Amino acid sequence: MNDPLVYLNGKLSPLSEAMIPVMDRGFIFGDGIYEVIPVYGRKMFRSDQHLARLFRSLAAISIPNPHNKEAWLALITQVMAAHPADDQMVYLQITRGVAQRSHAFPAKMVPTVFIMSNPIALTSDAVRAKGVKCVSMEDQRWLHCDIKSISLLGNVLAAQNAAEHDAVESIQFRDGFLTEASASNVWIIKDGVLTGPPKDHLILEGIRYGLIEELCAAHQIPLQARRISKDEVFGADEVLLSSATKEVLAVVQIDQQTIGKGIPGPIYHQLYAAYQEAKAAC
């Protein structure tokens, strides 16, 4: 659909007609947060967790939450219902609103609220079956990667670095330890144990992070969270990415180095199957 209906500050309109003033602090300062909720068969997947993260992001940067949970769900449902695709990605963005340009918060804040939806773009079966190539790079982002901020310059540059190397993602390291990729969490598997970096300020806690914790518990896959060195990543049996669109995806090459046997491994297959079951039950 070329011009889907979107929600902006209280009204639905075609995307091409939705306009914000140039003095919006989202445009001027990147002063806002966002959220992305996958929709399968017109049902939101893990909406409670996504809304909880949205509320945490708003609170973390002191933007007053303009709606309660029920009102948010009603607004999202309106945008979702207006979209022709059954499987969608709902995008929500809230900024600190319009004000004279001055860095500190304005006295009166009226947040700008924008919601749109797009057909979900999942990894093709052909790519999934082979696994994907990534590149490594130093993490150049700020120290609040736990906030789902619209100030995404570091992530944009990391994604561009991947694109320029014909790779799916840039896997980032800070001081020699794994953080995450430009738009996904990263996991390693060694001797049957799945390990992710700690859920701290250096990574965004993906909604898939929590889902993977649940799937590991349900399927008796040992799981731990701790700092992971670069050598451990390159020496892993399997490396996985997780995100709303990648779901779980096997990494078979980083830079010039093959990971494990160079094909998606057994834990990947187990988690991907479990993920599809969770989707079907949503």
Ligand X SMILES: Cc1ncc(COP(=O)(O)O)c(C=O)c1O
Q: Which of residues 217-276 bind ligand X (CB under 6 A)?
A: 242-244
Q: Report d(CA 217, CA 9) in Å as an integer.
A: 41
Q: Which of residues 7-46 bind ligand X (CB under 6 A)?
A: 36
CA-wise closest residue to 93 among 27, 185, 140: 27
Tokens of 203: 């990574």
Between 117 and 242, name the residue whose CB sits nearer to ligand X.
242
Integer-rounded Cα radius of gyration of the chain: 19
Stretch that binds ligand X, among 92-100, 132-140, 206-214, 272-280 (CB under 6 A): 206-214
8 Å CB contact between 267 and 260? no
In whole angstroms, how close is the CB of 233 to ligand X at the nearest point? 16
Nearer to ligand X, 161 or 185 (CB): 185
For position 207 contacting ligand X by CB under 6 A, the verdict is: yes
Task: Determine the residue with CB nearest ligand X.
Answer: 206
Count Cβ atoms within 10 A of the Cβ of residue 87 and give its class: 0-12 exposed, 13-18 middle, 19 or more buried: middle
Please give the distance of CA 129 from its chain centroid, rounded to a whole number: 22
- Catalytic residue (choose from 11, 108, 148, 261): 148
Residues binding ligand X: what is the number (CB under 6 A)? 13
Q: Measured from the CB atom, is 183 or 267 closer to ligand X? A: 183
Question: Whole-angstrom Cα distance, residue 99 to residue 108?
Answer: 9
Helices in 120-243 by DSSP H: which ranges? 125-130, 153-164, 207-218, 230-234
Of the candidate residues 116, 184, 236, 252, the single one contacting ligand X (CB under 6 A): 184
Part of the chain binding ligand X (CB under 6 A), chosen from 2-10, 22-30, 126-134, 180-188: 180-188
The residues carrying an active-site annotation are 148
Contacting residues toward ligand X, per CB under 6 A: 36, 155, 180, 183-185, 204, 206-208, 242-244
